[in-house]
Structure formats: C-alpha cells, structure tokens
C-alpha cells in the first residue's frame, strides 16, 4: 500500500504527529470478521457499493472521445468512470480481491492512451475548457476521485505501469488543470477548491512535492492574461484576490462560523474536496494540522451546512442553487461522518447519519456506524442562530429563526461572487419541509441534457439572479447594484441585531449600498403568542429614500390563493411587466388598488392555511403576478407572486404571516381556515424607531417596538406614537397592550 496518500481506508493505520488518530483503527482481517451486529449500516453501505461496482464492471470499460456537455453520453460516461474507480479501489483495499485492481488498472491505461490525443474539449462554453469534460471543474472532479483509486492500487501495480501512468496521464493532467489554466486554478472559488485538491492529491500519490506545493499555496502568477470574468460573472483578476491555493481557500471562503460565501448549495459541493484533501494531508503532512486549522473550521463548516436546512434536510436555496439538494448528497454522507470522527464524536451527528442511511467506506464511516449500532445516537438540536459571512465574520451573514417547526431565514451576507444573487435582505419561510415563502433558486436543470446541456440557462441571469425574483425590496424597477456582480462583491449587508428566546426571536440587518441614496433595514421576528396555533412572523422593512421613489416589494408564496380582502381587477390581456431586470419574465394577472389601510390574503399549501396581513398607505397597489413571460422554451416555473407597489419617500413596509388551520382531504373538512389577525398598524416610524401593533379577532392587541439605531440591551427608550407614549428597555419590546 502506498503510504503517501491515505484517504482513511479501513485497513490503514493513521498517524498524526506520531500518535494514532482517535476513533477505531481496523485491519483488513478485522473488517472481514466484523458481523452485522457490530456495524450493520456499514455492512449495508458496503454491500450497496459491491453491487454498484459489479454492475459497472459487467458493462466493460468505456473511455469515449469527449464530445458532450453535462448530461450528454460522453460526459456522463467519464463521470461514472471516476465514481466507479474510486469505489473499486476501496473494495480492493477492504476485500483484497484483485479483480477490482485489474479493473482500475485497465481503465487508467485506456485513459493514458487517449489523453495525449486530446486537445481542449470541443464545447467552447467554459472560461476554462477541460479535456475529458467541457470545463476544468469536471476534470478536477475526475482527478480527485481517480487519485484515490490510483492510490489504492499504487503498490500493487508494477513499476513500469506506474511510470507510464505518472508520465503520460497524471502529471500532464495535473499541469493542465493548474499551470495551463491558472484562471481556473488560482482563484478563491469552489472551482479552484476542486482544482487544488485534485492536483494536491495526485501529487501526494506520486510523491510529487511541486504539485503539492502548487495545490497548497497556489501558482506564482500576478496576471492571468485571460478573460476578466468566468461564465457566471465572477472576477478572474488575481490582483483582487491576493492569495490562492488550498490554504487560502480555507482562509477566505469561510467565515469563523463555517458559512461559505457562495451559499450552502456550493458549500455542499465544495465540502468533498475540502475534507478529502484535508484527510489526506492529515496523514501525509501532519505538521499542517489541517483539520484543526482556524479552530477546526472545516468541521465547523459541516455544522453550518446542517443548520442551513429545512425540515426535510434540504439546503436553503440561496444564490445559484437547485432546490432539493440535501443532506442525503454524497458529499454530505462523507462530510457528516468525518465531522463525527475527527470532531468530538457528537452523538447528535449520528441522527443525521441515520437519516442518510449510508456511510462512507472508511474509518469515519465505520466509526459512525458502530456508534449507531451501540445506540449512541441523539437528535440534532436545530436552534435559532446567526451565521456570519466574511473571513473575519464581519461581512454580514444570515439569520435563521426557528420555532414550532417554523423556519425563517433572512440573508444579509456578501454577494457570493459569480454564483450570487441580488437579494440583500431577502427571506424565505418554511413550515417543516414545506416552502411557505420561497426563494426561486437557480434557473438550471443540472445534468439534464434537454435543458441546454444541463448548464445554467440564460434565464438564470435574466430572471433568477435579479432582485425582483426574490422577497426583498426593488427600487425604481432596478436590481440591487444595477445587476453588477463586481459592485455587489465590494460590500455586504450589515448585521444589526440577533436575539432568540423561547417566545421571541429577532434578526435585523441593514443594506445601504444596493441603491444610491437609499437606506434599508429589515427586522424580522418569530413571535409565539399563547392563543395562536403557531408562531407569527412579523416583518418590518424600513426605508429612507428621496420622495417619489417607486418601491416594489415582491412576495413569492407557494400554494393556491383562497381569498383577499380587496377587489381584484383581473387582466384579460397579459403583457410583461417590463423589459429588463427580471420584469420581462413577469405577467401581471391582476391588481388591486388598496381600499383602507390593510391588505390581507390567504392561501393554502397542501396541509395548512397561510395569511399575510400588510399595513398599507394611500396609493398602494397590490399586483398579482406569475412567472413565465418571455419564456418561449418554458424554462421557468409558473409560480405565483404578489407585489406591493408604493411611491413615496421614507416609509416602512409592515406585514405579519400567520400559519393556521388544516384541511382533511379524506373528510373534506377545513379546520380554522380563517386568520386570527384582524388588523396590523404602524404606530410609529422614524429613523430611530418603528412600532407596530397586531390586533387579533379576539380583540387582544400586541405591540412590537424596536430601536433601529441603538442596540444596547441596557439602554432605555421612549417613543411618542399615534396612540400615546411608550417606554421600554433594550432593543425591543413585545407585549400585550
């Protein structure tokens, strides 16, 4: 067995600074003698991999000439090859059966034969075209997984074959990904994380110190002499980055809380190369102490990901995210077991692993499976929490409020580079795993060839990234930062306050750079009121702006409209709401000129009823919208939306969201289908304070007062409202009047 890349396979003895790694360390015989009572989840996972690899081996070896984009035959074949080789390598180490080694060797020789004949991939879409795949990113994926397979058979191979593979395949491939594509390799970005890990891991296998050094510390280049932007609008100018390489990725991509600036969807994707390379470095370069670097930041990042999920374990779809990606992903199957093994053996992580229902075939997976078999699992405690953004934790973040199966998420983080969306102070709301107020996510069908080769659709830029596609304020029909990624990357939202008690949880943040002369502060609270079924969501969005500013505040609710308290004028002829900034993709199906000082709408979504109650001002208009205009290829979902439109200067948008009732489909009986909110009023709004009153149908009134400029918990406040003076201590006051 090659001792220079130990990716935690079962039979290996692990040493860090001369000491055994904590956790179980097994020999091959111990694995073979293990019975199902010791770790049945491991044996189940092992059998699944045995069956998967058997199917692929029976098909024979296929190494086609690259041609297709993501989702196409050649793309998917090369992708399946690297997954299968990695699994076959693990099985060879565990079982000792040479058929797996033969399969890997023969596959690699086929790749070594074809590699010298290849130029760049024929598809020209990517800013960094690959060899086997249309982009270097996928080539790096291939090398991360294949390096593990190669390591597993390295000492089994004869020296001539090793020399051939090193010289004709792996060293040239590593050079192509790195020095021949520095615009891909030398960035702070999830793409480069894969590139760094790929080059570093194959360098460890081949004992190539130069490759490992490139991987850890980046290339010595000052100017890429390439295009300025990647395919997503992200910067490729090294002068704005300053550092590159794997260590710099850890330094700059994560906040001290483990939040990844590109959002949870891409954090999930990047966690595999981060952790698998870190595990290799822990064995080959123990002096780096990489798994303890930045206060065990890579382990913290796993917890951050777990906390960024709804009741179904699906990640919040910030930025360029495909909905449905979850803790069940292969990356998180590896990551959670690693966090358990290399962390503090936190028993709450075992409950996540139980739901994943599989473990990686390494000592981390075996350790977790054994602990589960011993009955050590405990539920993971999902709490209200704030995750900071930025390397120092001082560049905004996200606030997650949880109560009684309700989850509210507000985003005030950095833009997220090329994968970011223009959605400062946007929010989403979940009831368990069900979306109540949704974020659209990305416009993409990943790896589905029908939809433009599985890549991002043009509507990702023209719709999904634009501000009007999110639940946040649009000023003068223009996206935040005028839709400019570089401008958005220069600043972040500003955290103002985060607090959580048993009955009141609050997140408040500011955004003062998205528009010239416009200052926004959004304060959202999850309020538990004893006489209501579920917690209320209170939303107070205060704005300072010049007079005659036009505001659009969209709300993308999920479900079927039940009723509104206003007269809707339906549009018999539909036309797009604008020509740019996402408005070109919205139909205005109807509108209501608000009569009175309150708007109320109830909708139903599968199980429960939901009602939004909004305070209004004279001249407000409610526009009932639907996505899908100028979408002749039907790339976008036809989701409904509601836009509150207002023209004015300094103002506040105030709303409450109530979850109530239930509908029995079998009995056809609705329960509590009407809201308990009879009124919502803004009793005070100034630059320093906002006060809102919520009146229930029972006649009870609850008042929420909030200090917008002084967040000292010990300071006292006094405010004159339309209903008299109120006083309180601390940043907020919530009580029944």
**Phi-psi sector, 610: left (phi>0), alpha (psi -120 to 50), beta:** beta
Q: Residue 576 in contact with residue 587, Cβ under 8 Å?
A: yes
266 is catalytic: yes
Strands (E), 71-210: none
Tell which residue, 199, 176, 340, 190, has the closest CA to residue 281: 199
The DSSP secondary structure of 660-678, one letter per residue, reads: E-EEETTTTEEES-S-SEE
CA distance 126 to 111: 22
The DSSP H or E segment spanning 300 is helix 293-307
**What's the half-sphere exposure (Cβ side, CA atoms, 13 Å) at 392?**
3
CA distance 737 to 718: 16
Q: Residue 602 in contact with residue 611, Cβ under 8 Å?
A: yes
CA 698 to centroid of chain Cα atoms: 41
- What DSSP designation does 633 have? T
- Give backbone dihedrals phi and psi of 372, rounded to 5 degrees, phi first: -65, -45
**What's the half-sphere exposure (Cβ side, CA atoms, 13 Å) at 18?**
0
User: For the chain, how many residues are written?
Assistant: 737
Longest CA–CA span in the chain (Å) reads 89
Tell which residue, 703, 697, 695, has the closest CA to residue 725: 703
217 is catalytic: no
Q: Residue 371 in contact with residue 42, Cβ under 8 Å?
A: no
H helix intervals, 7-135: 28-33, 40-59, 73-95, 98-114
Q: Residue 657 in contact with residue 676, Cβ under 8 Å?
A: no
Catalytic hit among 127, 150, 176, 266: 266
CA distance 564 to 568: 8
Tell which residue, 700, 690, 610, 603, has the closest CA to residue 652: 690
Rg (C-alpha) for the chain, rounded Å, is: 27
C-alpha dist (Å) from residue 474 to 484, 553, 639: 15, 6, 19
CA 295 to centroid of chain Cα atoms: 22
- What's the sign of the alpha-carbon dihedral 88, 94, 99, 102? positive
Strands 586-593 and 569-570: antiparallel
C-alpha dist (Å) from residue 615 to 285, 342, 646, 700: 61, 51, 12, 18
Tell which residue, 36, 34, 54, has the closest CA to residue 44: 36
**Phi-psi sector, 280: left (phi>0), alpha (psi -120 to 50), beta:** alpha
Catalytic hit among 419, 421, 660, 684: 419
> How many other C-beta atoms lie within 10 A of the C-beta of residue 674?
14
Q: Which residues contact 459 (CB under 8 A, 6 or more apart)?
A: 443, 585, 631, 635, 636
Active-site residue list = 266, 419
């Amino acid at each position: 067995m090659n001792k220079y890349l130990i990716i935690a396979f079962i039979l290996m003895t692990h040493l860090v600074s001369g000491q055994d790694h904590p956790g179980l360390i097994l020999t091959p015989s111990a694995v073979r003698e293990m019975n199902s009572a010791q770790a049945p989840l491991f044996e189940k996972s092992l059998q699944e991999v045995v069956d998967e690899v058997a199917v692929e081996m029976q098909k024979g070896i296929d190494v086609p000439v690259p041609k297709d984009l993501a989702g196409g035959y050649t793309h998917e074949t090369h992708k399946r090859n690297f997954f299968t080789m990695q699994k076959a390598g693990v099985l060879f180490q565990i079982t000792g059966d040479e058929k797996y080694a033969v399969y890997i060797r023969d596959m690699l020789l086929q790749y070594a034969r074809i590699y010298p004949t290849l130029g760049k991939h024929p598809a020209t879409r990517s800013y960094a075209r690959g060899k086997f795949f249309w982009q270097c990113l996928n080539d790096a994926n291939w090398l991360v997984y294949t390096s593990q397979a190669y390591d597993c058979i390295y000492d089994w191979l004869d020296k001539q074959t090793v020399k051939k593979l090193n010289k004709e395949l792996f060293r040239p491939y590593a050079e192509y990904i790195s020095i021949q594509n520095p615009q891909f390799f030398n960035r702070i970005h999830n793409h480069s994380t894969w590139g760094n890990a790929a080059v570093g891991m194959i360098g460890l296998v081949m004992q190539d110190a130069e490759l490992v050094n490139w991987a850890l510390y980046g290339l010595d280049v000052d100017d890429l002499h390439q295009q300025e932007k990647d395919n997503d609008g992200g910067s490729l100018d090294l002068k704005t980055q300053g550092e590159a390489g794997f260590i710099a990725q850890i330094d700059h991509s994560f906040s001290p809380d483990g939040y990844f600036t590109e959002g949870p969807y891409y954090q999930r994707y990047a966690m595999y190369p981060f952790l698998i390379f870190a595990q290799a470095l822990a064995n080959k370069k123990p002096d780096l102490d990489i798994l303890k670097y930045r206060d065990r930041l890579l382990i913290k990042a796993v917890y951050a990901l777990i906390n960024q999920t709804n009741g179904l374990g699906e990640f919040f779809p910030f930025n360029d995210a495909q909905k449905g990606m979850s803790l069940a992903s292969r990356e998180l199957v590896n990551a959670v077991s690693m966090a358990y093994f290399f962390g503090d053996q936190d028993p709450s992580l075992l409950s996540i692993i139980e739901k994943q229902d599989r473990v990686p075939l390494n000592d981390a997976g075996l350790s977790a499976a054994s602990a589960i078999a011993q009955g050590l699992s405990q539920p993971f405690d999902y709490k209200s929490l704030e995750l900071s953004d930025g390397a120092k934790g001082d560049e905004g973040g996200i606030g997650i409020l949880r109560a009684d199966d309700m989850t509210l998420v507000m985003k005030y983080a950095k833009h997220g580079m090329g994968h970011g969306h223009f959605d400062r102070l946007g929010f989403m709301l979940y009831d368990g795993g069900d979306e109540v107020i949704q974020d659209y996510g990305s416009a993409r069908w990943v790896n589905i060839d029908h939809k433009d080769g599985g890549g991002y659709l043009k509507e990702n830029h023209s719709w999904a990234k634009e501000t009007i596609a999110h639940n946040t304020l649009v000023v003068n029909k223009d996206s935040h930062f005028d839709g400019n990624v570089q401008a958005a990357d220069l600043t972040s939202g500003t955290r103002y306050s985060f607090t959580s008690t048993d009955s009141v949880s609050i997140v408040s943040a500011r955004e003062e750079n998205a528009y010239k002369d416009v200052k926004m502060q959004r304060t959202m609270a999850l309020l538990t009121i004893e006489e209501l079924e579920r917690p209320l969501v209170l939303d107070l969005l205060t704005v300072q702006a010049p007079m005659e500013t036009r505001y659009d505040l969209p709300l993308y609710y999920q479900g079927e409209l039940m009723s509104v308290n206003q007269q809707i004028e339906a549009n018999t002829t539909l036309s797009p709401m604008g020509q740019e900034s996402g408005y070109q993709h919205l139909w205005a199906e109807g509108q209501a000129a608000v009569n009175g000082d309150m708007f109320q709408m109830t909708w139903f979504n599968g199980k429960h009823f939901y009602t939004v109650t909004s305070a209004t001002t004279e001249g407000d208009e409610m526009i009932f919208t639907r996505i899908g205009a100028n979408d002749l290829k039907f790339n976008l979902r036809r989701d409904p939306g509601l836009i509150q439109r207002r023209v004015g200067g300094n103002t506040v948008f105030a709303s409450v969201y109530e979850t109530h009732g239930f509908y029995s489909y079998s009995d056809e009986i609705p329960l509590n289908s009407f809201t308990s909110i009879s009124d919502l009023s803004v009793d005070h709004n100034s630059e320093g304070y906002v006060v809102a009153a919520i009146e229930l149908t029972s006649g009870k009134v609850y008042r929420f007062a909030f200090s917008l400029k002084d967040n000292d918990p010990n300071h006292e406040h006094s405010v004159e409202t339309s209903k008299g003076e109120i006083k309180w201590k601390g940043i907020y006051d919530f009580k029944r009047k």
